[in-house]
Structure 1
Amino acid sequence: MPDALGSVLAEPGLIWLAAAVFLAGLIYGFAGFGSALVFMPVGARILPPELAVAVFAITGIGSVFTMLPRTWPRADRPATVWMILAALASMPIGIVLLIRTDPVPLRWAICGLVALTLVAVVSGWKLRLGSGPVPRLTLGSAAGFVGGTTGLLGPVVILTTLASGDAADRMRANLSSFLTIVNVALLPMLWVGGALTGPVLWMGAVLLPVYMGGTLIGAALFRPGAERLYRRVAYLVVVGAVLLGLPLFD
């Protein structure tokens, strides 16, 4: 067994990371978003934030196989492509901040952003943008910067997508397609930044099938008519992740 793999399997927090990544996959499978909202508060408590982002980005490769074939055909592809291009342009700036910022403030920022997103979603607050390439480019740029800094690609996109008025399956397809593709694109940028070390790659490989299992189960559970139930379950899981991740309880 390689030494790096042995050290990963001996990591005391591995069981918590596995539980968090499974729940993240489950939520993502039936809601189409929310995986990072679940994983990052917990992951950044156990690992340095930049390594938590890298590990989660590796596990997110699974969504290319479990989610993207189902969601891409149903997505608004032109709008999604504009957002992806903008996110790719702004993510490197966020990654520089992720690598250079002290971990504790980053953890507070992650938990705070997750909590604010949850409050906004539960209260019904929505961010409305116009149609056309310019609003999509603006949205993608904001999501890429925030995602590069905290690993949370979804908050801005979630609030605008919920304001679109699309049916549940269309919103799920748009969100999931954007998040899956941009998450994979994050990996080479993290490698350039030095966050993809040997132990990180092994940890991501160990957690990848756990995440894929969660997304497959979540996708199988998805029923458009049960949207309210899915959201309530997701809200509770996100609240638990935020409470576990707060630096206050170290």
Structure 2
Amino acid sequence: MMEPWLILTGLVAGLVYGFAGFGAALVFMPVALLVVDPVVAVAGFALAGLGAIATVVPQAWPQADKRAALTMLAAAVLLEPIGVWVLRTTDPMALRWAVSAVVLGTLVALLSGWRYRQSPGLPAWLGVGAGVGFLGGSVGMNGPVLVLFQLGGPDAAARTRANAIVVLSFSTLALLPIMALQGAVTRETILLGLVLLPVYALGAYFGRRLFNPARAGLYRGTAYVLIGGAGIMGLPIWG
């Protein structure tokens, strides 16, 4: 029987994703790894992520920078098979440490207010996309590199959120067949994903309804708190 608080975490992850455009996996993965195998957690959450395709992508697509988003997405899909191989062949305890390190490291970078001044182009988009794909496949968190890149640039909150939603949602969708080809999609992962899918979609829907560009700072602050709490909870020191 699935832990009720794991389902609640899926709901919160969807809510964060809906209003902030990032943070779903940063919230979900550290907590999920307390009770399920990393491969199961990544594949199951990828399946649950299909809920975002219907609930938040249609609203985000018109606001996104299509050229940048699609370039990053293509690079992400190319690197995902390597990430999945790392996921399948690495010790689960090492992956738990890696997940918490990525989560807390991302949070520190976000809170530091890091910014870049150069106008990004093809090399930057390809590099960010590669990071999205590798981290998405290896630890189930495709957002950190993209989030730092988007929030560090000059784009307005609405476009930043839209770009992140398009790249993260579709790279998560592409992850499913890649994991299936490597034998990482099992009955357990499908069950987890199907239970989480409506919960995650519901959270994303309400998060999208809550989003208001004028209050982007409040939403980001809330996401930071939730991400930090999940990262600390997921540390392997808790057993």
TM-score (norm 1): 0.92
Distance 1:242 1:119 in 2: 11
Indicate if the aligned counterparts of 1:63 and 1:215 stay in contact, CA closer than 8 A.
yes
Distance 1:242 1:104 in 2: 15
Q: 2:13 aligns with which of 5, 24, 39?
A: 24
Distance 1:126 1:112 in 2: 21
1:79-228 mapped onto 2 (5 Å cutoff): 79-126=68-115, 130-228=119-217
Q: Which one-letter code corresponds to 1:33 in the other structure?
A: F
| Aligned structure 1 segments of 4 or more residues deviating by more than 6 angstroms | none
Indicate if the aligned counterparts of 2:76 and 2:131 stay in contact, CA closer than 8 A.
yes
Distance 2:155 2:115 in 1: 13
Distance 1:222 1:150 in 2: 28
Distance 1:139 1:84 in 2: 9
The alpha carbon displacement at 1:202 in A equals 1.7
Distance 1:130 1:191 in 2: 38
Distance 2:148 2:224 in 1: 14
After superposition, the C-alpha distances for 1:194-215 in whole angstroms (9 at most, x for unaligned) are: 2211121122111111001100
1:129–1:103 Cα change, 3 Å: farther
Distance 2:120 2:107 in 1: 25
Indicate if the aligned counterparts of 2:63 and 2:162 stay in contact, CA closer than 8 A.
yes
Distance 2:57 2:118 in 1: 25
Indicate the RMSD between aligned Cα atoms, in angstroms.
1.2
Distance 2:126 2:15 in 1: 29
State the percentage of identical aligned residues.
45
After superposition, the C-alpha distances for 1:22-78 in whole angstroms (9 at most, x for unaligned) are: 110000000011101100101112111111001110010000000110001110001
Residue matched to 2:219: 230
Distance 2:120 2:235 in 1: 37
Distance 1:128 1:192 in 2: 41
**Secondary structure at 1:204's aligned position in 2?**
helix
Name the stretch that deviates more: 157-166 or 112-121: 157-166
Distance 2:69 2:106 in 1: 21
Q: How many residues align?
A: 239
Indicate if the aligned counterparts of 1:129 and 1:135 stay in contact, CA closer than 8 A.
no
1:130–1:90 Cα change, 3 Å: farther
Distance 1:129 1:20 in 2: 37
Distance 1:131 1:238 in 2: 27
The alpha carbon displacement at 1:115 in A equals 0.1
**Secondary structure at 2:142's aligned position in 1?**
coil
**Secondary structure at 2:196's aligned position in 1?**
helix
Residue matched to 1:240: 229
Distance 1:55 1:217 in 2: 22
Distance 1:225 1:79 in 2: 24
After superposition, the C-alpha distances for 1:162-203 in whole angstroms (9 at most, x for unaligned) are: 122111111000001100000000000111122211121122
The alpha carbon displacement at 1:127 in A equals 5.6
Indicate if the aligned counterparts of 2:40 and 2:188 stay in contact, CA closer than 8 A.
no
